[in-house]
A and B are shown apart, each in its own frame.
Chain A
Amino acid sequence: MTTAEKYVTAAYCVVFAVVLAYVLIIALKLTRLEREVDALAGRAGPEAEEEARREPAPVG
């Protein structure tokens, strides 16, 4: 592997690693939020749970 090939590979690996880390962080955060929503809806009782089912959070 030449020096140029090593640097190019490093650059693309950096891009991949940063995007992957970002996606993982967002995925973990979304999982935690969904757990919290479920817990709160459960605490609020069946009526709130029904309400949460009827009006889900908009995606995007």
Chain B
Amino acid sequence: MALEATLSVLNDMKAAGVFAEYAIGGAVAAFLYIEPAATFDLDVFTAWEPSEGGGLLTPQPLYAYLLSRGYGEYEKEAIMLEGWAVQFLPLGTPLVKEALIQAVDVRIKGVPTRVFTREHLMGICLQTGRPKDLARLLQFTEESGADMERFEEILQRHMLAKAWESFRTRYLPPL
């Protein structure tokens, strides 16, 4: 289940104009910064808004494109692409939208792709706020060497400072 094969499909979709841009978020992105653990899904955030160069209003053309290339197997809400269950996710909040714009270019086994920054992933963990997200946020603070100044700016921009203060008081040792 080579991740680079899945990423190549995503790059082909972008080259074909199926979406204007994409970036990897979720667990797989997080595991590029912190200690990896088991996961099933690859979360792919795509710009579904119309843009000057053309973009999607709905994800329907995305699935039609994949079906035309033989990808029609689903696992719950994800589509199977080269052994990975891929979830295509919209830019649901301004924070996620910013995370896509500021995602970093990386190469995974020679295949170019884009990944959310660790600071944006931390902000999304805090904003989403499920127990597993908060546990992951704790890992980020302990393991990832995050740029805390940059993180604080993200918190301010997206009105998460209060949530961070609450998290810090509850889970982190006093400064």
A pairs with B:
no
